[in-house]
Chains A and B, each alone.
Chain A
Amino acid sequence: MPEPRHPYADQPERAYWPKTVRDKHPLDITDWYQKKFSLDGRRIATAGSCFAQHIGRRLRSSGFDFVDTEPAPTVLEPQSRAAFGYHMYSARYGNIYTSWQLLQLFQRAFGTLSPVEDYWVCGDGVVDPFRPTIEPEPFSTVAEMHDQRAHHLACVRQMFHTADVFVFTLGLTEAWCSRLDGAVFPLAPGTVAGTWDSSRYAFANLTYPMVMEDMHEFIDGFQKLQPEGSLLLTVSPVPLVATATTDQVVVATTYSKSVLRAVAGALAAEYECVDYFPSYEIVAASPMGSRFFEPDMREISSHGVDHVMREFFRIHPPPTPTASDQVANGTATPPEEEDVVCDQELLATFGGRQ
Chain B
Amino acid sequence: MFFGDSHLGAIKQARDQTTQTARAEVLGSVEVDFGPVCGIRNYQSEFFTTDGETVRVWAPARKGGSQYRLPAEDGYDWYVLAGPLNASHLYRSIPTWSRYDLPGEHSDRAPMSPALLQRIISDNQYQFCRFIDALLQIELPLVVLDTPPPFRDTRYVREIGPRRLLAVDDAARRRMRDLLDHFQVPIIRVPDTCVEDDGFTRPDYRHPRRDNFHTNVEFGTLMLRRTVEVAGELERDDATIEDSTSRPG
Residues in A lying within 8 Å of B, measured CB to CB: 70, 73-77, 79-80, 83-84, 135-137, 139-140, 144, 147-148, 151
Q: Which B108-132 residues have a C-beta within 8 angstroms of A?
A: 110-116, 119-120, 123-124, 126
Q: With an 8 A cutoff between CB atoms, is B95 at the interface?
A: yes
Apart from A75-B90, A80-B123, A137-B113, list 16 A-B contacts with CB within 8 A. Answer: A73-B93, A73-B100, A73-B120, A74-B93, A74-B95, A75-B93, A75-B124, A76-B96, A76-B120, A77-B120, A77-B126, A83-B119, A84-B119, A136-B115, A148-B113, A151-B111
The answer to whether B111 and A148 touch across the interface, beta carbons within 8 angstroms, is yes
- Min CB gap A155→B, angstroms: 8
The answer to whether A70 and B110 touch across the interface, beta carbons within 8 angstroms, is yes
- Tell me whether chain B's interface is mostly helix, strand or loop, or mixed: helix
Contact partners of B62 in chain A: CB under 8 A:
none
- Min CB gap A135→B, angstroms: 5
Residues in B lying within 8 Å of A, measured CB to CB: 90, 93, 95-96, 99-100, 103, 106, 110-116, 119-120, 123-124, 126
Contact partners of A73 in chain B: CB under 8 A:
93, 96, 99-100, 112, 116, 120
A314 to B136, CA, bound (A): 54
Contact partners of B124 in chain A: CB under 8 A:
75, 77
Contact partners of B96 in chain A: CB under 8 A:
73-76
- Min CB gap A118→B, angstroms: 17
- Min CB gap B237→A, angstroms: 38
The chain A residue with its CB closest to the CB of B105 is A147
Q: Can you name 27 A-B pairs with beta carbons within 8 Å?
A: A70-B110, A73-B93, A73-B96, A73-B99, A73-B100, A73-B112, A73-B120, A74-B93, A76-B119, A76-B123, A77-B123, A79-B123, A80-B119, A80-B120, A84-B115, A84-B116, A135-B113, A135-B115, A135-B116, A136-B119, A137-B113, A139-B113, A144-B111, A147-B111, A148-B111, A148-B113, A151-B110
The chain A residue with its CB closest to the CB of B123 is A77
- Min CB gap B20→A, angstroms: 45
Contact partners of A148 in chain B: CB under 8 A:
111, 113
A140 to B103, CA, bound (A): 11
- Min CB gap A37→B, angstroms: 33
A75, A79, A144: the one contacting B113 at CB < 8 Å is: A144
The chain B residue with its CB closest to the CB of A148 is B111
A137 to B122, CA, bound (A): 15
A75 to B18, CA, bound (A): 40
Contact partners of A137 in chain B: CB under 8 A:
113, 115
A13 to B235, CA, bound (A): 86
- Min CB gap A122→B, angstroms: 12
7 residue pairs, one from A and one from B, having the closest CB atoms:
A75-B93, A77-B123, A137-B115, A73-B96, A75-B96, A147-B111, A74-B95
A77 to B99, CA, bound (A): 17
- Min CB gap A10→B, angstroms: 56
Contact partners of A77 in chain B: CB under 8 A:
120, 123-124, 126
The answer to whether B116 and A76 touch across the interface, beta carbons within 8 angstroms, is yes
A148 to B126, CA, bound (A): 27
A74 to B111, CA, bound (A): 14
A151 to B95, CA, bound (A): 18
- Min CB gap A159→B, angstroms: 14
A77, A83, A135, A148, most chain B CB atoms within 10 A: A77
- Min CB gap B42→A, angstroms: 16
Contact partners of A70 in chain B: CB under 8 A:
110
B90, B99, B111, B120, most chain A CB atoms within 10 A: B111
The chain B residue with its CB closest to the CB of A84 is B116
A139 to B111, CA, bound (A): 12
- Min CB gap B104→A, angstroms: 9
- Min CB gap B71→A, angstroms: 31
The answer to whether A140 and B120 touch across the interface, beta carbons within 8 angstroms, is no
A183 to B119, CA, bound (A): 32
- Min CB gap B168→A, angstroms: 9
The chain A residue with its CB closest to the CB of B109 is A151
- Min CB gap A90→B, angstroms: 15
A315 to B113, CA, bound (A): 41
A227 to B101, CA, bound (A): 35
Contact partners of A74 in chain B: CB under 8 A:
93, 95-96
The chain B residue with its CB closest to the CB of A139 is B113
Contact partners of A79 in chain B: CB under 8 A:
123
- Min CB gap B145→A, angstroms: 24
- Min CB gap A330→B, angstroms: 29
The answer to whether A75 and B120 touch across the interface, beta carbons within 8 angstroms, is yes
- Min CB gap A336→B, angstroms: 16
- Min CB gap A210→B, angstroms: 35
A73 to B111, CA, bound (A): 11
A80 to B119, CA, bound (A): 8
Contact partners of B100 in chain A: CB under 8 A:
73
- Min CB gap A254→B, angstroms: 39
A109 to B111, CA, bound (A): 17
A77 to B89, CA, bound (A): 12
Contact partners of A136 in chain B: CB under 8 A:
115, 119
A137 to B118, CA, bound (A): 11
A139 to B115, CA, bound (A): 8
A135 to B117, CA, bound (A): 12
